[in-house]
Chains A and B, each alone.
Chain A
Amino acid sequence: MKSCAFAVAAVLISFSAHAKTVLVTGSNRGIGLEFVTQYAAAGWDVIATSRSPGDDTDLQALAAANANVKIEELDVTDLDEIAALAKKLEGTAIDVLINNAGMFGARDGQTWGQLDRDLFDQVMAVNVYGPLKVTEAFAPHVAASDEKKVVVISSAAGSIAAVSSPPGAPYYAISKSAVNMAMRGTAMRLKEDGISVGIFHPGGVDTRMLREAFGLSQAEAEANEDYDYRGFTPLSPQDSVAQMRAVITGLNAENTGSFLRYDGDTVRW
């Protein structure tokens, strides 16, 4: 009887220790989808958000196969939608909030001589304002959790110190420097609530966006999954995400607001 009670207690304890929750934005492809896959496999409750999940067959299949994956619709530039989801999830503790949604932007609208203001607004909204607003809306959910971590997927393309050749896509680079600053300041504020913030460079990961960075249009990048990256060897999403998950585990009050590579090395501002 006594040993049975111990067993029950052990199960309860291990169950509660495992019932962690992660929310991932832009989880329908690439790095976001891989975060969902790996956290789900690790037994976490996963709130996987995307702009139009009805179209996302990979994500739908993942949710169908994993009871712990729940899909929510979220456009990170839609303030009302963000507020509504935060309200709907009131009372749900979110251990790790991953601001992953991002866009590269068509090159045509961001090259010298062809600056497109609408494209600028769109890239800045998705890559800068979105993560800041999502973090603001979900900070109470994160503060109520055990882990208390906020992550933003930035890029070394936003490292001002590392600029050595003009980028093909200045808006993308600008947006990443800007989100680094926005989240670095926010980290100072969230420290008061015991929340740690990690700003990540995921590496050059084999995704649609990397193919866009190599000069393919979004449609070409979508279609051309076997692209050769002109001799560059990209990281696999599996490898990048596995390494970032380990670094996320180690985020704390000391390293909060740091710009970290997927393997934990510091990236220059």
Chain B
Amino acid sequence: MLRLSILIFTLFVFGSAQAATVMITGASRGIGFEFAQRYAERGWDVIATARSPGDDAELQALAQKFDNVRIETLDVTDHAGIDALAAKLEGTAIDVLINNAGISGGRNTQEFGAIDYSVFDDVMNINVLGPLKVTEAFLDHVAASEQKKIINISSSEGRLSNVRGARQPFYRASKSALNMVMKNVSIHPEVQSKGVIIGLLTPGFVDTDFTAGLPKQLMIDVETSVSRSMEMIDKYDMDMSGRYFANTGDEMTW
């Protein structure tokens, strides 16, 4: 009898430890999709969000294949929509929230002398204010989990201490701005009192739609990038919160 209750207890503990949940924004393609697939394979519950998931055949197929993948519609510039999803998921603990959704704003549109200012608001709203708003709305879901991690996909392009060349001022400014806002969030009293870890990770130069047209010989494939990122996410602890790491493990200067 005692043995049986120990067995039941053990199953219960292991069972709950395995049911970790990850939520990923921008999960329809590229790095976000790869995260969804890999965490699904790992047996995690995956909340994969995308702006218009009805159009995302790959993501739909993934959700068909894995019972543990659930798709939700989320546009990170739609603050009411973010609040609505947070309310819908009330009571769901999210171990790892990955703020992955982002845009580059294009390259030709950001050439000095011919900068197209119409892309500015989208770049800043999707890459900077979006992650801040999502973090704010889902803080309690993350705080209620075991792992309590909010991981932001930044970029080495946001690194002020290592600027070579004038390319993509909006995109790069947005990543410096994301680093700033997440460092701020990491020391916010509410975030600290809830024990939530804030990560900033650079994925490397990854072969996705995002980098289409750039030299492939310098790129890593998305599987490699996401493997490294998942390893880093596993390692992320409170001491690393608010710091800026390459997914290869090296800390970066701002």
Contacts and interface: CB of A to CB of B under 8 A. Distances in A.
Interface stretch (B22-30, B39-47, B126-134, B203-211): B126-134
Contacts of A158: 180
B164 interface: yes
A115 B183 contact: no
Interface residues of B, number: 44
**Which of A158, A257, A269: most chain B CB closer than 10 A?**
A269
Contacts of B112: 136, 139, 186, 189
Contacts of B120: 124-125, 128-129
Q: Which label, helix, strand, loop or mixed, suits the secondary structure of the B interface?
A: helix
B135 to A, nearest CB: 10
Contacts of A161: 253-254
Interface in A157-213: 158, 160-161, 163-167, 170, 173-175, 177-182, 184-189
Interface string B153-182: 000001011011111111011111101110
B169 A115 contact: no
Contacts of A136: 112-113, 115
B117 interface: yes
Interface in A229-260: 257, 259
Given A129-B120, A184-B160, A185-B165, A117 B253 contact: no
Interface in A88-140: 112-113, 115, 117, 120-121, 124-125, 128-129, 132-133, 136, 139
Contact of A117 (B79, B115, B168): B79
B124 A181 contact: no
A112 B140 CA distance: 13
B132 A181 contact: no
A257 B160 CA distance: 10
A174 B169 contact: no
A51 B120 CA distance: 21
Closest 7 CB pairs of A and B: A189-B166, A269-B160, A178-B173, A177-B180, A181-B176, A178-B177, A160-B254
11 contacts: A113-B136, A120-B125, A136-B112, A166-B184, A167-B184, A177-B160, A181-B175, A181-B177, A185-B166, A269-B161, A269-B253
